[in-house]
Amino acid sequence: MRDTIVDTEVIKRAVQIACRAPSLHNSQPWKWVVDGGVVHLYVDPSRAPLHTDESGRETLIGCGAVLDHFRVAMAAAGWTANVERFPNPNNLHHLASIDFSPLRFVTEGHRRRANAIMLRRTDRLPFAAPPNWRSVEATLRASVDEDDVRLDVVPDELRPELAEASHLTEALRLYDSSYHAEINDWTTDFGTADGIPYSSLVSAAESERVDVGRSFPVTRNPERRSEVAEDQAKIVVLSTYDDTHKSMLRCGEALSAVLLDATMVGLATCTLTHITELPESRKVLSTLIGSAATPQVLVRVGRIPSIEDVGPPTPRRPIEEVLEIRQEPQ
């Protein structure tokens, strides 16, 4: 462990920013602990949506995203976060131990990337085609460590087959009462600290214009983004070479990088995992990307017509619920 001490308020602020990370149904299944000069990240299994994420895979992906967000927030504050993943082999809920060293210089890039955390939204409305996609794709690929995570883009001509896989997933769950009850439990029209508010969902008419997406309870929102007749997003797929806990965590870190890269170039995103939750649709997706790697998460990436189309941020749990100060840094 390094002897460098970071002020608790700096860590607290970075955790608040990091917790803007996406998670399945906005469940926020993480717990942070400050113990002296070290910050620990734990998974909180009590917050995992059990019927949607029976294996716990998506919970770990969400925790990987919050870990990468934390590193980004600390860099903007002038610190390099040195991460040891799974420091205790006897406790797989202990995901990471983090200590710090001073960053030599905080660049405008560090600040912009941290700001992207606050700007990003999960946008379920249809997107226009992203401009300069070849350049954007190169940027996304550069942020992903291909030794741990593979990035593919579904070819446009295979989009109908991907849409079929999306519909297949929903059809297979048509009579799954536990799954649908859980979806309803995580969606609400009231102000809460977690879950998905109705303002972040779509109406039936809006849903018809997005061919690849999870089905949520439909809302009575007025028709939005009507100038986009059908979704023209590019579909990015992140895959791993196995289903270990470490691979899931690293996949979440890669997801964070992709989302922030897209946000920084002015594009909108929507993270999707419903197709990878069932083996039948997951197999179809593997065929579409032509890889033996295991698909874990998809991201729709596209352009929205104007800044006015950006929805409100989804709620987050109070910092007191997600951060424990066990011992102040000394």
Q: What is the pLDDT of residue 141?
A: 97
Using the predicted structure, report yes or no on whether residue 191 has a pLDDT greater than 70. Answer: no
* Single-letter code of the amino acid located at 213: G
For the chain, domains (ranges, CATH) are: 8-120+316-327 (3.40.109.10), 133-309 (3.40.109.10)
Model pLDDT for residues 129-188, shown as the tens digit of each residue:
999 999 999 999 999 999 999 999 999 999 999 999 999 999 999 999 999 999 999 997
Q: What is the pLDDT of residue 21?
A: 98
Average pLDDT in the chain: 94
Cα Rg for the chain, rounded, in angstroms?
Answer: 19
Model pLDDT for residues 245-286, shown as the tens digit of each residue:
999 999 999 999 999 999 999 999 999 999 999 999 999 999
Using the predicted structure, report yes or no on whether residue 230 has a pLDDT greater than 60. Answer: yes
Query: Helix %, strand %, coil % for the chain, to 5?
Result: 40, 20, 40
Using the predicted structure, report yes or no on whether residue 305 has a pLDDT greater than 90. Answer: no
Using the CB atoms, write b or e for 113-138: b if 16+ within 10 Å.
Answer: bbbbbeebbbbbbbbbebeeeeebbe
